[in-house]
Amino acid sequence: MAIVRPFRAVRPHETLADKVAALPYDVMNSEEAREMVKDNPYSFLHVDKSEVDLPPSIDLYDQRVYDKARENIVKFIEDGTLVQEADKALYIYTLVMDGHPQTGLVSLASIDDYQNNVIKKHEFTRAEKEADRIRHVDVTNFHTGPIFLTYVYQEEITRIIEDYKKNHEPLYDFVAEDGVTHTAWAILDENIIEELKKRFEKVESLYIADGHHRAASAVRVGMMRREKNKDFTGEEEFNYFLSVIFPSNELRIMDYNRVVKDLNGCDSEQFMEAVKKDFTVTAYEGEGPYRPERKHTFGMYLDGRWYKLEAKEHIIFDEDPLKRLDCKILQDHLLHPVLGIEDPRVDKRIDFVGGIRGLKELERRVEKDMKVAFSMYPTTIMDLISISDAGMVMPPKSTWFEPKLRSGLFLHDLE
């Protein structure tokens, strides 16, 4: 039973949505963020990456960074850049990338659903990243970036949402600088809201697709507020966090590729022989980079040439939801035993390249500062759901979702 809850969103004025909406804070560094905002005083990066309005030398975890984020939210509200909905609502949010649409429901999710594993996870989180977002939420008093959730497709939920879209004018409709179209509708009809709430009560589980750190931080702030308010009822806003919930059949996961700095003391010939223990290696004769066409195949770029790797049967365990993941196979049978990458979360010799950057980026990295690259077949959404249902944790950088949800379109006030 999943809880969805309407809320009085703080959101951009209709004329400013395209200027306010920003990519998530964690897909760019401070220097890139400063460049993005220099001609846009409305960008929500002034809140999510508020160091852009402070000296470049400032520590990202300085209290002034969080205070500036709060100051900028207040300023946006006072000057009308952001407005608060008069009534509680749910929202529909459609993103279209390369002709492919995906439509989610913007609502509040319950911190109790998170604690009770109705909202399921598949990643470990890092304490320092959690601490940063805890302070950001606590000081600003807002959830500023929605958690990307998914659920196993339910025909009736999709029907209700699609019917509403057809019969109502959108609140926002714009094309972002990356070519992705963002369209949103406000559901203010109480009957439709109640119908959607009842439909989601029949959904057994929600799954975090992206945003584990934001989710964990939002829940932690909620628990902190409960500690300060011993007589809480459960109806207070801090008991809920901002989310967008998409049906599983509409999501696309891109490849998440790997580059490694050296061959762990081997020369190319020794390395290739070690790889052949668990993989069949074939020189790729096609044009351009090799993109794996099915599970358990990998591309490898070494010494200016692409190779196709195929996992041998003795290392494939399709009955195990974790061991059948390609990123797990590569980690357990090549990155760790051959290249010495024991913990890819902390090892500085490995880096990860999202599929949105293209496979040519792997070649560029090898020619610039790395030695070998691996192209991956994308993890499937059902793999993610199976791992989550089993209570397992996926290897780091297993999934790259596109398009990215924009921050700043919907904010949740904790009070």
- Is pLDDT at 136 greater than 90 in this prediction? yes
SS3 string, 63-131, reads: HHHHHHHHHHHHHHHHCCCEEECCCCEEEEEEEEECCEEEEEEEEEEEHHHHHCCCEECCCCCCHHHHH
pLDDT digits (tens, 9 = 90+) for 32-55: 999 999 999 999 999 999 999 999
- % of the chain residues with pLDDT over 90: 95
Tell me phi and psi for residue 320, to 5 degrees: -105, 120
pLDDT digits (tens, 9 = 90+) for 236-292: 999 999 999 999 999 999 999 999 999 999 999 999 999 999 999 999 999 989 999
Contacts of 127 (CB under 8 A, 6+ apart): none
d(CA 249, CA 57): 45
Residue 245: which of 222, 272, 211 has the closest Cα? 211
Dihedral sign for Cα atoms in the order 167, 172, 175, 176:
negative
Mean pLDDT of the 138-159 span: 97
Q: Which position has the token pair 């020189």?
A: 283
In the prediction, which pLDDT does 268 show? Answer: 97
Q: Which residues pair with 92 in a beta bridge?
A: 105, 185
Residue 152: which of 219, 209, 213 has the closest Cα? 209
Dihedral sign for Cα atoms in the order 384, 386, 391, 392:
negative
In the prediction, which pLDDT does 243 show? Answer: 98
Q: Which two tokens stand for residue 319?
A: 């009955």
- Is pLDDT at 196 greater than 90 in this prediction? yes
In the prediction, which pLDDT does 312 show? Answer: 97
In the prediction, which pLDDT does 242 show? Answer: 98
CB atoms within 10 A of CB 222: 25
pLDDT digits (tens, 9 = 90+) for 204-221: 999 999 999 999 999 999
pLDDT digits (tens, 9 = 90+) for 356-369: 999 999 999 999 99
d(CA 96, CA 395): 29
Q: Which two tokens stand for residue 392?
A: 């397992």
User: What is the average pLDDT value for the chain, to the nearest integer?
Assistant: 96
CA 328 to chain centre: 20
d(CA 117, CA 134): 20
Q: At what angle do helices 127-140 and 63-78 cross, to 10 degrees?
A: 40
CA 306 to chain centre: 30
- 27: confidence class by pLDDT, cuts 50, 70, 90: confident
In the prediction, which pLDDT does 289 show? Answer: 97
- 396: confidence class by pLDDT, cuts 50, 70, 90: confident
pTM equals 0.92
pLDDT digits (tens, 9 = 90+) for 304-316: 999 999 999 999 9
Contact 377, 298 (CB under 8 A): yes
In the prediction, which pLDDT does 335 show? Answer: 98
Contact 34, 56 (CB under 8 A): yes
Q: What are the Cα distances from residue 71, in Å, to 18, 58, 65, 140, 332?
A: 22, 17, 10, 8, 47
Q: Which two tokens stand for residue 161?
A: 């949402």
- 318: confidence class by pLDDT, cuts 50, 70, 90: confident
In the prediction, which pLDDT does 345 show? Answer: 87
- 334: confidence class by pLDDT, cuts 50, 70, 90: very high
In the prediction, which pLDDT does 125 show? Answer: 87
